[in-house]
């Protein structure tokens, strides 16, 4: 391959970053210009990528964790011949593939959406884990970091886990340009401090002048030979580098140059260039052969027995893991409670412990998804709130991951409110395109876990702590968007809609009301999103327009609101809907005591039915 003039290529990347942001009248040219030399050397000599086949299994991965610098990324696409100069100048326009931050929805050369800082490196951990441990391919994962985002704790979760798993295929490039959005970053140009922190977390650190292409070349050459630990390259750069009135000047963050300023800057950079770089192709290698697939044999639980749905989740993971070799499982150091440890015992090579690092837990799952793996990630339901931004960004990334939150609601008992997820359904319902499931039965749980293997998007399975009665036979089937009529008759006077633990309370209420001659219908709304609108509307019609929703969750955004949403646009056919939910801050106590205090137990359901009638 012909030798690339790195300085000329870097100048082109700077010029094009200015041109496209000026055309858009918005964007981040100066944040792009600081890393131009770093990316010129990477593109011209070290990045192995087949632009005609973005899904080549042995392509390197390049993640712009500092996603606002995407004008530089798109300029690289142009320099590689992947997009035209005309398309480059459509940056940020409505309908353009080149959005204001990288987004795989529209750009095939982009693995994940970035822009919420601190997430690119954690996702890179998932990619690197797959390459080193599962696909066993020699590709590298290159992640461009901004110095401001290194203040995010998620970055250090990533370095910690990358060191724990000895991910020498993960190379972070820190664009230390000193200036953040409103002024100097917390460490400024203190390269030694960044290096000390990286080394303290187990990384191999290299400090360089990030505007010296020869020094960059030497650093990359060293980085690709490191074994047993991730690499951090701390590169001292200047925001707006290459243009005298921009370089290291405050007040230019997120500010495009006007036409006159752009012309002056481009002239100082030597004018427009249209170099096309012949990028190195990856070796034509294929992933390691997956384990042999076994026929699906979901676990079964006999009617008349008791089992916790969280245990059924773990048992089902083992079953789908045997059938689907692309399934991987992650946990946040509570696997003996979520029961994902069952999968870890059966398939230790596909189980990855993320410890108490929920942001990294979700990001790793996203990284595995980029590589075509189906990741199931579990922790206590309450703790997913720490990673909500990662979940939100996963949806923007068009990621497919399954999350399982155990120990949800007041029914967990004595641990108290810090461990009780009472917001999780609302949180997960709010995620774009998400699926939210809350099973009440172990056979139901196992069936749904199998459905999640092929379900696109973000899915969430909520599980309760204690053992409950088996309600459904192993032969029963379920569907996403469905529900089950647990009890019903032609003479039902009220429909009680429940999910998870409250289904069992509703059944107790049913027996007591039946002895009083009151007939109620019980709907197990295990699919909270999408919800079974048809069954709800039929119940409203057949039960005198009287519905009671009972849930182990705050009243805002949970099952009750999902039921209310199902009747939007129904006009004068909207039924009377009573919501029983957790209204006051719970404390510690036995599950039955807490359910009673929250007024979501059988007593409360009986009273609500009688009041409504």
Give kind and range of the element (H or E) at residue 495. strand 494-498
Phi, psi of 125 (to 5 degrees): -60, -45
Which of 248-262, 360-374, 469-483, 562-576 is predicted least confidently? 562-576
- pLDDT digit string (tens) for 211-257? 999 999 999 999 999 999 999 999 999 999 999 999 999 999 999 99
The superfamily (CATH) of domain 306-469 is: Thiamin diphosphate (ThDP)-binding fold, Pyr/PP domains (3.40.50.970)
Residue with tokens 């295929």: 169
pLDDT tens, 526-553? 999 999 999 999 999 999 999 999 999 9
Burial of 597 (0-12, 13-18, 19+ CB in 10 A): middle
What DSSP line would sit under 326-349, residue for residue?
Answer: TEEEEESS-HHHHSTHHHHHH-GG
Are 331 and 357 a contacting pair, CB within 8 Å? no
The pLDDT, as a whole number, for residue 105 is 83
**Domain map (residue ranges) of the chain:** 6-268, 306-469, 484-612
In the predicted structure, residue 572 carries a pLDDT above the cut 90: no
Between 2 and 478, the higher pLDDT residue = 478
Confidence of residue 1 (pLDDT cuts 50, 70, 90): low
At residue 473, does pLDDT exceed 80?
yes
Q: Can 358 be counted among the known catalytic residues?
A: yes
Fold assignment, 484-612: Rossmann fold (3.40.50)
Least reliable range by pLDDT among 2-11, 163-172, 397-406, 530-539: 2-11
Q: How confident is the model at residue 301 (pLDDT cuts 50, 70, 90)?
A: very high
DSSP state letter for 408: B
pLDDT of residue 92: 97
* CATH code for residues 6-268: 3.40.50.970
CA–CA gap between residue 208 and residue 233 (Å, rounded) = 7
Q: Which of 63, 72, 98, 64 is nearest to 13 (CA)?
A: 72
Percentage of residues in the chain having pLDDT higher than 70:
100
∠ Cα 549 550 556 (to 5°): 80
pLDDT digits (tens, 9 = 90+) for 392-449: 999 999 999 999 999 999 999 999 999 999 999 999 999 999 999 999 999 999 999 9
The string of DSSP codes covering 403-439 is EEEESBSGGG-TT-GGG-BSSHHHHHHTSTT-EEE--
Is 284 buried (19+), middle (13-18) or exposed (0-12) by CB count in 10 A? exposed
Q: How far apart are CA 490 and CA 481, in angstroms?
A: 24
DSSP H or E stretch at residue 449: helix 442-452
Do the domains 484-612 and 306-469 match in fold?
yes
Residue 331 has pLDDT above 70, yes or no: yes
Residue 439 pLDDT:
98
Is pLDDT of 569 > 90? no
Choose the catalytic residue: 307, 358, 423, 551.
Answer: 358
Strand partners, 172: 143, 232
| Half-sphere exposure at residue 492, Cβ-oriented, CA atoms within 13 angstroms | 24
pLDDT at 116 over 90: yes
Is 430 within 8 Å of 297 (Cβ atoms)? no
Average pLDDT over residues 298-310: 97
Strands of the sheet containing 61-64, edge to edge, are 61-64, 141-146, 170-176, 231-236, 204-209
DSSP state of 133: I
The DSSP call for residue 421 is B
Nearest to 446 by CA among 472, 420, 465, 469: 472
263-182-242 Cα angle (round to 5): 30
**For residues 105 and 495, which has the higher predicted lDDT (pLDDT)?**
495
- Residue 97 CA to residue 249 CA, distance in Å, equals 31
The pLDDT value given to residue 106: 82
Give the mean pLDDT of 77-98. 97
């Amino acid at each position: 391959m012909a030798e690339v003039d790195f300085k000329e290529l870097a100048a082109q990347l700077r010029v094009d970053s200015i041109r496209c942001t000026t055309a858009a009248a918005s964007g981040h040219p100066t944040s792009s210009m600081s890393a131009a030399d770093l990316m010129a050397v990477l593109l011209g000599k070290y990045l192995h990528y087949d632009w005609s086949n973005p899904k080549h299994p042995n392509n390197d991965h390049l993640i712009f964790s500092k996603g606002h610098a995407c004008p530089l990324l798109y300029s690289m696409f142009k320099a590689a011949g992947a997009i035209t100069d005309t398309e480059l100048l459509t940056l940020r326009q409505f309908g353009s593939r080149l959005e204001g931050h990288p987004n795989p929805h529209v750009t095939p050369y982009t693995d994940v959406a970035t822009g919420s800082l601190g997430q690119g490196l954690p996702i890179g951990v998932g990619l690197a884990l797959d390459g080193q441990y599962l696909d066993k391919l020699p590709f590298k994962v290159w992640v461009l970091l901004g110095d401001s985002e290194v203040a995010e704790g998620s970055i250090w979760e990533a370095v910690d886990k990358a060191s724990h798993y000895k991910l020498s295929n993960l190379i972070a490039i820190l664009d230390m340009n000193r200036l953040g959005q409103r002024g100097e970053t917390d460490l400024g140009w203190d390269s030694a401090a960044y290096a000390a922190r990286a080394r303290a977390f187990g990384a191999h650190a290299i400090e360089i002048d990030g505007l010296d292409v020869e020094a960059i070349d030497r650093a990359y050459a060293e980085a690709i030979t490191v074994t047993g630990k991730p690499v951090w390259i701390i590169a001292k750069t200047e925001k707006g580098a290459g243009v005298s009135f921009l370089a290291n000047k405050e007040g230019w963050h997120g500010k495009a140059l006007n036409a006159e300023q752009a012309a002056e800057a481009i002239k100082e950079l030597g004018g427009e260039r249209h170099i096309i770089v012949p990028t190195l192709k990856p070796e034509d290698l294929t992933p390691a052969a997956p384990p042999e697939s076994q026929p699906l044999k979901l676990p079964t639980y006999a009617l008349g027995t008791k089992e916790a749905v969280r245990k059924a989740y773990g048992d089902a993971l083992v079953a789908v893991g045997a059938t689907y070799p692309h399934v991987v499982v992650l946990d946040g150091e509570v696997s003996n409670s979520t029961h994902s440890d069952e999968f870890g015992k059966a398939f230790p090579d596909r189980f990855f412990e993320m410890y108490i690092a929920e942001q990294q837990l979700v990001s790793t799952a996203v990284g595995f998804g980029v590589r075509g793996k189906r990741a199931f990630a579990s922790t206590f339901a309450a703790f997913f709130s720490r990673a909500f931004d990662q979940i939100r960004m996963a949806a923007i990334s068009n990621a497919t991951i399954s999350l399982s939150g155990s120990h949800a609601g007041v029914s967990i008992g004595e641990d108290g409110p810090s461990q009780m997820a009472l917001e999780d359904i609302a949180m997960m319902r709010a995620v774009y395109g998400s699926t939210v499931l809350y099973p009440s039965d172990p056979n139901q749980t196992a069936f749904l876990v199998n459905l999640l293997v092929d379900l696109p998007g973000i899915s969430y399975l909520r599980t309760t702590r204690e053992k409950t009665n088996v309600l459904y036979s192993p032969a029963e089937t379920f569907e996403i968007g469905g529900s089950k009529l647990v009890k019903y008759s032609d003479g039902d006077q009220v429909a009680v809609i429940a999910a998870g633990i409250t289904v069992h309370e509703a059944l107790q209420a049913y027996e007591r009301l039946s002895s009083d001659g009151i007939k109620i219908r019980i709907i197990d709304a295990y699919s909270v999103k999408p919800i079974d609108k048809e069954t709800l509307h039929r119940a409203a019609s057949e039960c005198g327009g009287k519905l009671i929703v009972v849930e182990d969750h705050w009243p805002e955004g949970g099952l009750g609101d999902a039921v209310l949403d199902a009747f939007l646009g129904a006009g004068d056919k909207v039924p009377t809907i009573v919501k029983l939910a957790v209204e006051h801050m719970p404390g510690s106590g036995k599950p039955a005591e807490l359910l009673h205090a929250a007024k979501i137990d059988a007593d409360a359901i009986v009273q609500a039915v009688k009041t409504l009638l």
